[in-house]
Amino acid sequence: MTRVSHSRTDARRNHDRVVAAARELFARHGLTVTVPQVAAHAGVGRATVYRSYPTKDDLVLAVAEESFTALESWTRAAIANNTALATYVPDLFARLAADRGLAETFFEARLLPATRLLDLIGELVTAAQSTGQVRADLDDLDLRITLCGPARQLIALDQWSPDRWRRHGAMVVAALRPC
C-alpha cells in the first residue's frame, strides 16, 4: 500500500511540475515551445508528459484553462461593475502582453476558453452599445477582428511591452466608438 501511495504522490508531483514548466515556458516563449522542451524543463521524460497530455494542444489547453478562468472572473466582475470598455480593453491587452502563450491562445480563439472569454467581452460591448459608447452596428465578428487583429500583429512583430499593448488596446476602443 505504501508503494502505491508513493507512486501516486510521484505522479502528482510530476504532473504539477509539467504544468508549471509549460506555464512558464509558454508565458515566456509562446506556443512555439515543444513538448520535449517542456519535459526537459520539468525534469521528466517525454513519456511522462504524453501520458497526461497526448497532444500539445491538450497541454496548451490545460495551461490556458487556468489563465482564461482568471480572465473570465475578471471580465464577469467588469460586467457586474459596469466597467467602461475604455478601461477594460487596454487592461486586457496589458494582461495579454505579460503572457505570450495566453496572448497567442487568445488570438487564435480556437480553444473553448478563448471563445468563452470573447463571448463575455461581447456582453461588455452590448452594455456599452446600450449607453451609446460603442457603435450600434458592431457585431461579434467585428469585435473579434478588431480585438484579435492588433493582438496578432503585436505577436507577429514580437512586441511585448505592456505599455505598447495597452496603447493599442486604447486604439481598439477608439475604433469601436460611434462615428
Residue 107 clears pLDDT 50, i.e. is over it? yes
According to the model, what pLDDT value does residue 54 have?
A: 94
According to the model, what pLDDT value does residue 75 have?
A: 95
Residue 3 clears pLDDT 60, i.e. is over it? no
Q: Any idea where the domains of the chain sit in the sequence?
A: 1-54, 57-179
Domains 1-54 and 57-179 share a fold: no
Distance (Å, rounded) from C-alpha 151 to C-alpha 45?
Answer: 34
According to the model, what pLDDT value does residue 138 have?
A: 92
Distance (Å, rounded) from C-alpha 72 to C-alpha 67?
Answer: 9
Q: Going by C-beta distance under 8 Å and a sequence separation of 6 or more, which residues neighbour residue 74?
A: none
Span of 11-20, 89-98, 104-113 with lowest mean pLDDT = 104-113
pLDDT above 70 coverage of the chain, percent: 94
Residue 4 clears pLDDT 60, i.e. is over it? no
Residue 62 clears pLDDT 50, i.e. is over it? yes
Q: Which CATH superfamily is domain 1-54 in?
A: Homeodomain-like (1.10.10.60)
Architecture field, domain 57-179? Orthogonal Bundle (1.10)
Convert the pLDDT of each residue in 118-130 to its tens digit. Answer: 889 999 999 999 9
Other C-beta atoms closer than 10 Å to the C-beta of 115 total: 13
Measuring CA to CA, how many Å separate 173 from each of 4, 22, 145, 159, 176?
A: 55, 32, 13, 20, 5
